[in-house]
Amino acid sequence: MSNTNCNFVAGQWVVGDHDIENRNPSDTSDLIGRYAQASRDQLDQTLAKAQSAQAAWAAYGMERKQAVLMSIGQEMMARADELGQLLSREEGKPLAEGRGEVFRAGQFFTYYAAECLRQLGENADSVRDGVEIDVRREPVGVVAIVSPWNFPTATASWKIAPALCYGNAVVWKPANLTPASAVALTEIISRQDIPEGLFSLVMGPGGSLGQHLVEHPSVDAISFTGSVPVGKGIATAAIQNLTKVQMEMGSKNALAVMDDGDLDLAVTVALGGAFGGTGQKCTASSRLIVHAAVHDAFVEKLVAGAQAMKVGHALHDGTQIGPVVSAQQLQENLDYVALGRAEGAELACGGVRLDMPDDGFYMSPGVFLNSTNDMRINREEMFAPLACVIKVDGYDHALATVNDTNFGLTSGIVTRDLARATHFRRHARTGVVTVNLPTAGTDYHVPFGGRGDSSYGPREQGKAAAEFYTTVKTAYISAGVPS
């Protein structure tokens, strides 16, 4: 057990009741390490400690908290090459994307470091004479964070940073597929000037440890990113304790390509949106809704572009698409390929497992043609390097197809027509809309989230995060008449 990477429980690094292997999806012979799995008793222990630590942290001065978050962010950005390599090694995204993710994660901390100094309230006069009103935000308490494997550092950071900024304690359960990035971030946070037990890392399976966490009465709020079924289960558990929840879940994002758009730009936007991160993004453009007038020309360029993309080891130069994250994920992807064919869609390219020099989970980017919006491949989130082209006969048909989904995270349009762009921006029923840009890629200082099955609860990121990580107190003051 001496080589096991530990959990961080109640301010101490501790082993669990057993441990798991973490292997590189680019090369399964590469053992990244062994990672301890926390026990229920350890989780109970760290939650008890978190409550007292949160009270101590809330009493820290604004500048003291600001210095902590700034230190975390600056170290992450300074170590982006090193930590990005670790992230790409365990998750499979190309090295440039791994570095970029770590650097962006650092920016979340530096952004919220500044927000520590901007926690301004409101004041008002009462409808009653001689009474003044003070409105301010206070910490919600102990926050449970359950984060996914596809952005193991960035998604966790955009939850942890505002939680700490607004005075809360954090108990973090990361995805078991990417524990190395979680331990690396925890090591940085553990060295800061924070109360013992304020921040904890508990690694373990979602079905047991994660379930115990979200059901625990000591948790005041739960922030989750993951699948719709798991999110609904968390919401069901949370309501028993009336625990506040924030959830980012599935998606089926659409990119509408209009007949007046720049065709080369449309292809570039579609390739990046559909296949960036090996398609393992909640913001991926999995539905490509194309005007009939440019359909054939777009498809020709899209298929050629997909076939030209280099699939390879995440750490090798020139790799544009890394492996998928696991054997299970690869099999699910291949099952969707078979399903699409059975539904009558034409697989124009890719969609097959690749034999590579390294033993990993490699898959070529696939493009389905002649698909319709009622097919399961266009209704269900595949989380794969697969894109489905849907032909439409005009703008109205395109917008209706974009909105015909149970999800509502992101959508985009490629057009030169200002009227179309404006109408689309106002009428696309998604939380994020892009014009002449990929549906994937969001800034850290503005709200992020969707509607329908994609999101539940307050928005993430930017100033909007305060809605979830704080609770509002309204105070009425009658000072009387001066003597």
Residue 65, CB-side half-sphere exposure with 13 Å CA sphere: 27
Tokens of 192: 């800061």
Sign of the torsion formed by the C-alpha atoms of 297, 298, 303 and 306: positive
The answer to whether residues 85 and 315 touch, using CB atoms and an 8 Å cutoff, is yes
| Marked catalytic residue, from 97, 248, 381, 460 | 248
Beta bridge partners of residue 170, listed in sequence order: 143, 199
Q: Give dist(CA 159, CA 456) in Å, integer.
A: 15
Catalytic, 282? Answer yes
| Marked catalytic residue, from 6, 116, 282, 388 | 282
User: Which residue carries 């292809």 as its tokens?
Assistant: 267
Residues assigned a catalytic role:
248, 282
